[in-house]
Structure 1
Amino acid sequence: MMKQVSYPSRGKTIYGFAHVPETTAPGPALILSHGFTGSGYESSRLFVHLAEAACRQGIYVMRIDFLGSGNSDADFAENTYLSGWVADVLAGVDFLATQPEVDPARIGALGISFGAAASLIAGRDPRIKAAGGWASVIHPEPTFRGIFTDEKWDYLAQGNKRIEHVYAGARFGATSKFVEDVKNLSVTEAVQQYGDKPLLLMQGDLDPVIDITHSAELAAAATCPVEYHLVKGEDHSFLVHMEDNIATTLDFFRHSL
């Protein structure tokens, strides 16, 4: 069963969809985090396919739209920054823990790209039992300098600024908060706080957005159990080998939650 859900975060409202398995016993749950300028439908319904497959395997899945994205409240530029997205994920964990179909001790977080960075940082929260990232942003500044351009990144770094930009056909705004915020957060440091929490990292070897060495670097730096896959022939969308990517991901969470 699929149903629309909503929950409060940062004083506004997050909207999303929950895919609820047909079971009477509380079971595992997974919150899905889309990428920068994306939504809970993420890349031609990638997250929908994943959620439906997970639901068939007894996993409650919630795919959300971050504040300012998709159907959720607020302005994109004013609300799109890494610590804000982490807060939205953790508010989603709060919501999942109250659902009768969910075992609050079996919640996982998975994201793609910038959403993966948010999921992995949120993953240090003890309520999240396992975390995963597809093509995760590991080093935000060099990655987003490539997206924004050096000129616009340096302009935002002056403080109290806003830009409008187009990248890969997507038009968006960004504020100085985005630049200031990423300087205070480290995906690597967050993962190193996981203890024995399982971590999944997947990266396409043809990714034009994220340097393909970054996920391998994070896997090497992690002190927790890591499952790392460099997917041959895959790009940033995770659509080229979508069925295999979903199968690998669900196998990880089925055994980790």
Structure 2
Amino acid sequence: MDIPVKALLLSAALCLPAQAEELALVLDRGIHATLELPQGPGPFPAVLMFHGLGSSRDEVGLIFADTARQMSRQGIASLRIDFRGFGKSDGDTGAHTIERQNDDAQIALRALSAQDGIDPARIGAMGFSFGAGAAIELAAARPDAIRSLVVWAPVGDYRADMLDSMGPRVFDLAAQDGIVGVDLGWRTMALQADFFDSLARHDLLAALARYSGPFMTVNGSDDPYRRYTPALMAAAAGVDKRALVIQGGDHVFHVYIPSRSMAGQVIEATVRRFRDTLPAGD
């Protein structure tokens, strides 16, 4: 059962969890989320998790859900959300824009920072593919709050990526008709012209240049998005920046092929990174 975030905060104030716990929340504007709390009273470091375009909070192959559980075992809490219009969250999928995605990320940050048992001075962010852009822009907007940033198979240029993957005809049809159906490969969805217009309003490299905290990007060696890695590494303003390549991995680290899945490697590296940059102990 989904629990309104205000009610959750009140109950948490009375009794913090004595064991690892997964809680369903409904945040502002009908955003559905999962809060993963480690065992013990805290306060815990915590990580915000942002899914890719067309996906939802547990991500492909449940890789976000598995990452959240592994972080919890290491004393790191997490909050993963469904962007509005995706998963269980309210809103029209077709009305998705970069601005709305960034607003949702800000709402998630406020909710997590206010949660009892969470140390607001030790919050990180991570994003997968298109959702990596949300993590980057949140870190740029709130460098005071985001202390570590990890991106998986990240987009590096919203408009260039959509042009490359969808072709200019989709942009033209959206401009002509106001809405267009797009095939993402694993699902189809309708997107309004506002989505395509919003792509050019956001420069991810300029955003990353405003964030000086620890940064790590993770790609499979066969991921076409790996082409963004040099530019992202050059743009990152901090000294502690790393690029990890998972040999033989594709864009989703072969999570749909259990015998070839590299999810374990990605999760282990990510948990280790947050453990080192958001230490669980005082």
Q: TM-score range by the shorter chain?
A: over 0.9
Query: How far apart are the structure 2 equivalents of 1:160 and 1:118?
Result: 27
Deviation at 1:25, TM superposition (A): 2.2
* Bigger proportion of residues as strand: 1
Counterpart pick for 1:6 among 4, 19, 26: 26
Where does residue 155 of structure 1 map in the other structure? 173
Structure 2 residue matching 1:234: 3-state secondary structure: coil
Alignment of 1:183-202 (within 5 A): 183-195=200-212, 197-202=213-218
Matched-pair identity in %: 26
Deviation at 1:160, TM superposition (A): 7.1
Query: How far apart are the structure 1 equivalents of 2:136 and 2:218?
Result: 13
Structure 2 residue matching 1:97: 3-state secondary structure: helix
Alignment of 1:100-139 (within 5 A): 100-124=116-140, 125=142, 126-139=144-157
Whether the aligned pair in 2 keeps the contact of 1:119 and 1:131 (CA below 8 Å) is yes
Structure 2: gaps (5+ residues)? 1-20, 256-260
Counterpart pick for 2:111 among 87, 95, 100: 95
Where does residue 15 of structure 2 map in the other structure? none
Query: How far apart are the structure 2 equivalents of 1:15 and 1:142?
Result: 30
Where does residue 52 of structure 1 map in the other structure? 69
Query: How far apart are the structure 1 equivalents of 2:165 and 2:93?
Result: 16
Structure 1: gaps (5+ residues)? none
Where does residue 36 of structure 2 map in the other structure? 19
Q: CA RMSD in A?
A: 1.4
Where does residue 11 of structure 2 map in the other structure? none
Q: State the structure with more CA Rg.
A: 2
Structure 1 residue matching 2:30: 3-state secondary structure: strand
Query: How far apart are the structure 2 equivalents of 1:63 and 1:127?
Result: 17
Counterpart pick for 2:158 among 140, 149, 152: 140
Runs in 1 of length 4+ with deviation above 4 angstroms? none
Encode CA deviations 1:137-183: one digit per residue, 9 max, x unaligned: 11111211233222011333x37711012231301011111121121
Whether the aligned pair in 1 keeps the contact of 2:205 and 2:231 (CA below 8 Å) is no
Encode CA deviations 1:18-51: one digit per residue, 9 max, x unaligned: 1111121211011111100000121021111101
Alignment of 1:186-225 (within 5 A): 186-195=203-212, 197-208=213-224, 210=225, 212-224=226-238, 225=240
* Bigger proportion of residues as helix: 2
Moved more, 136-145 or 158-167: 158-167
Whether the aligned pair in 1 keeps the contact of 2:56 and 2:82 (CA below 8 Å) is yes
How does the TM-score come out when normalised to structure 1?
0.93
Whether the aligned pair in 2 keeps the contact of 1:60 and 1:101 (CA below 8 Å) is no
How does the TM-score come out when normalised to structure 2?
0.85
Structure 2 residue matching 1:69: 3-state secondary structure: coil
Where does residue 266 of structure 2 map in the other structure? 245
Counterpart pick for 2:53 among 36, 59, 70: 36
Alignment pair present for 1:73 and 2:90: yes
